[in-house]
Structure 1
Amino acid sequence: MEQVILVGCQLRHVNDDVFHSSMDELASLTETAGGMVLAAVTQKRERIEAGTYIGKGKINELIALEQEVEADTIIFNDELSPSQHLQLSKQLEAKVIDRTQLILDIFAMRARSREGKLQVELAQLKYMLPRLSGIGVSLSRLGGGIGTRGPGETKLETDRRYIRRRIEDIKKQLEVIVQHRERYRERRKNLEQFQMALVGYTNAGKSTLFNRLTAAESLEENKLFATLDPLTRKCKLPNGFIPLLTDTVGFIQHLPTQLVAAFRSTLEEVRQADLIIHVIDVSHPDHRQHEKTVNNILSDLEASHIPQLIIYNKRDLLTESFITPKNALLVSVFDNTDLETVRMAIQEKITEEMIPYQTQISAQNGKLMSLLKTQTIVIENRYNEIDDCYEYKGYISEKSPLLNTIIDSNNLKE
């Protein structure tokens, strides 16, 4: 394991709890990436030092500490500018990386699908391009073609050109994948399947809830960003209705802008959802900030208008009393009773987005009765002996094709 020193700068307007929570999160990210935290260096300042992030005195302290503990890597708790990264690398012997680079590294480690790997590589290259320094400015390669003969071009120029070409190549490959994903979305829309998306701060328990609601096998792990590639499965509710549920990548404070841009197509799953299920780790001391972070990212994705069901998870790990807000749930996803409560709450939330109906179906029309059970919320179903038919009452989406084909619109209640 790499030996790591963490460095953080607390500005005057940031309170102690928020700053320490951010540093603890950086330590968790470091462990997820395979590092061992040896020490943490912090400083309070009015503003970030433009050249070196922290002050000269702290730099000297950091130099002495890295020699003392023989650190391999020093990780800074913010995104360093290219000039800050260059200056720090010159003064420190250990490898210097920042929070953004660390998150990108974890994403690269977690990506499984071709799309996920391409998205991470795109984000890494965009991060790397402005940070290429003139370390290897010696003339090293000859260019090819008219205008490049003679002394050749520097390695720095060649690297920049390679990265730009690679970025364009990845964008073209992603365009094909995005079109493929959009065709899937269009197909689901045409079938009028109700779509739900699980969102939440990283390690809130989304994948665990997803697995228990869908009987899927998404990776469950007590680590940050255990899930990276989105997974969509059918989810059966108590009355038989079957919506689609998508497990998404966890959010985090200061989520790198490169990642938000690269994962835009994946995050479209959230924007296209009919219902967002927001999972919050209530046992985490900074869970309110986590909730705020997720809501801010949803706002950036233009998804804040979508109806939400808020689930406060990990009640079994609570060490103090918690008052559950109205219309939210306090659960442990490992508790079967709580899981049924979640299913019922999802069903009620979906019902709010539908309109009521009542209809009669011939006893011989088993196919239509089966469709009603899986594509509508059925609240009453009884056999009418006099008319030899089944009477159904329930809720249906206004967009459902069943509304025009099997339900008498005159029976719809306003």
Structure 2
Amino acid sequence: MPPPVHRVSGVTLPEPAEPGPRRTIGAAATWAVAIVGWLYYLTPLLVPGRTPPLSIVLLLVLPGLGGFVLLALRHRFPVVVPVLLGILLLIGPSPVGAAFAAVAHLARLGRSVLTVVLVGSWILIAKLGSFLVGPYAQPWRNAHTVELTVTIGGLMVAVLVGALGGSRETELRERAIADRALRQVEQARLDGARAAERERIAREMHDVLAHRLSLVAMHAGALAYRTDLDQQTARDTAALIQTNAKKSLAELREVLTDLRGAGTTPEPPQPTLTDLDSLINEARRHQPVELRSSAEVAGLPERSSRQAYRIVQEALTNARKHAPGAPVLLTLSGAAGGDLVITVSNPLTPLALPDRDGAGLGLVGIAERVGLAGGTVRHGSVGERFDVEVRMPWPDAS
């Protein structure tokens, strides 16, 4: 499988995962507890041969249904809902599951321990009160002891499960926030690398155009004083050329001063692929570099040749940092009307101690230049080697 193509459109990092599905699972468990508690107290209605009075049926069915309605409002009224459920427990026992779920939800929200304890105590008191003063008030029986024990145990489990669920949700939220912050830092780092590369390109453009326009201004100034032509025409034309050239140079400097910084002077023309030999000789001071070229680089347009030179320079630097001492193979191919193909390949060196100061931003800079030139770049490990392959359009001179 070929390595991925990286274009200058930008690097998109994955969004951190959100804990949304866990909320769905928690809601399903909440309703399951409420429904099971309700159905448990409806079992006496299913005993064959016994037809309970209508009042008993209503006291078993309606409070449970009311508990479902209240449970649906737990997000808006997390404290009021369990309090009202306690009142329903005084009328009938079927909302006990909804009460457990409401207490668990309150604990999951991270409310104060005092609030959770008071609400849980109220549920317990309401359950105990239903044995003594509610519609089911009877002399104390063993069944009451069992139900009270189940209620105490259910409340303890509800508080524990709710607290653990809240702790887990808090951890996931904090992790998502940390992942998002890390992503923003990484994106800022890549954006900084692109901005630095664009500034470098702008500086080169300034240097080249400043040099050329200085020559135009100089020769146009000399032409203004020639006497072998119609003097007025030659003088006016040359003065116009001189004025426009100077204005162009002033405007260019004004626009790009913020990019390259004030106080700098134009440099000589930037190197192109015709200066590749000196670059390779410099690289050979650090590691072996072999050049295989089948392209007539002298015919490459100067702007493309400058970009290609910087790409080769960055690729060789990248090889020196991450595979120090390893032999590097540089291949150039292509012709006018097609593509210029630049390949820099070096063997992987797992035992080496590469310089990681650049943090991988060299490839970002290469992608930026290639993208501006309308080309593509592929990089990655292929077998036992690491390859960087660049394809750039080679305009036909005709």
TM-score interval for Structure 1 and Structure 2 normalised by the shorter chain = under 0.3
Q: TM-score, normalised by structure 1?
A: 0.24
Q: TM-score, normalised by structure 2?
A: 0.24
Question: Larger Cα Rg: Structure 1 or Structure 2?
Answer: 2
